[in-house]
Amino acid sequence: MKIIVLPGDGIGPETMAATVEVLQSVNKRFDLNLELEHDIAGHESLKKHGSTVTEALLHKVKTADGLMLGPMSTYDFKDESKGEINPSKFFRKSLDLYANIRPARTYSGLTNKVGPFDLIVVRENTEGFYADRNVESGSSEMLITPDVVISLRRITRLCCERIARTSFELAQTRRKKVTIVHKANVLKIADGMFIDICKSVGQEYPDVQIDDYIVDAMMAHVVRAPDKFDVIVTTNMFGDILSDLTSELSGSLGLAGSLNAGTQYAMGQAAHGSAPDIAGQDIANPMSLILSAAMLLGWCGQRSKSKRLLEASKAIEQAVERVVKDGQVTRDIGGNLGTQATGLALAKYLQTH
């Protein structure tokens, strides 16, 4: 099994090194026969190849079993004609990674202000208000006059159906509840269609409970009582914002795993950015990327019906629970370890338990 590893920018190389340490540990323990093939994207690729990503890299990813993408300096990449392509957008669009799955949960040993909870935000990943990915070519954000900008939002039946099905299938493996988040009181046609399609798909899963909330009200409800929610399904921008909120409620965005999945391909990617202000200081929290790697192994395991991959995925999650409880973590979540030492602590736990 081959995974392409792209360390990324800023704190990416540090957090990816810790992630690789963990992957190598489960590889030995579960005899996974993993092959981790390293390559470059982002600033390093721009300097070497004149583009942040290349078609050759895309071909390599398509022939592999999965992709681990480190944090990228997305804000720096503004002009695609100069090779400044957003790598995350590039892979999500090129591989049709339509589902962004972001768990958020609390951990024993880590203080939080809202009580224990365990939920997943399932975010549509390929259209919505994202101007760089909802048209075939160019951007759907237009400067009409120096004082007028129009941004178009695309919502399609296909994308609504497949993200809804992803959420209901996930709910069946959990507490059997799906919450639809929308703004149908204002976006009556687009979000009205989104709700209708989600509920229609939900009829195929009669054991799953369905409710829905307007997005602004949802922000209040999820802060007040996040334990009420199980699987939350929503459109692209709402999901982006909501998943950051739920991750932070769990204790830190640094604990937020994230998987971008499609029918054929999947990409593990930390929920946070490249944090250049702390790069190279060995203080970045690697847990988000490590948990994303666990999710990637789980996706590969489900697809190939590999018990070993599924066990390895679960073992990483359990190891994270343990080191967080024991305080063997970075300073942002109450520990005193560096990035590298946190990865080693996880690897050691995996080797001995």
Active site members:
130, 183, 216, 240, 244
Report in angstroms the alpha-carbon separations of 119 from 181, 235, 246.
14, 17, 8
- What is the spatial distance between Cα 63 and Cα 48, in angstroms, rounded to a whole number? 23
The amino acid occupying position 216 is: D
Residue 138 DSSP symbol: S
Buried b (16+ CB within 10 A) or exposed e, 62-88: eebbbbbbbbbbbebbeebeebbbbbb
In DSSP terms, 100 is beta-bridged to: 123, 260
Residue 251 DSSP symbol: T
Q: How many of the other CB atoms lie within 10 Å of CB of 267?
A: 25
How many residues are present in the chain? 353
Token duo for residue 81: 């004609």
Considering only CA atoms, which of 352, 314, 303 is closest in space to residue 25? 352
* 194 contacts: CB under 8 Å, gap ≥ 6: 155, 160, 180, 182, 184, 235
What DSSP letter does each residue of 296-347 carry, written as one string? HHHHHHHHHT-HHHHHHHHHHHHHHHHHHHHT-SBGGGT--B-HHHHHHHHH
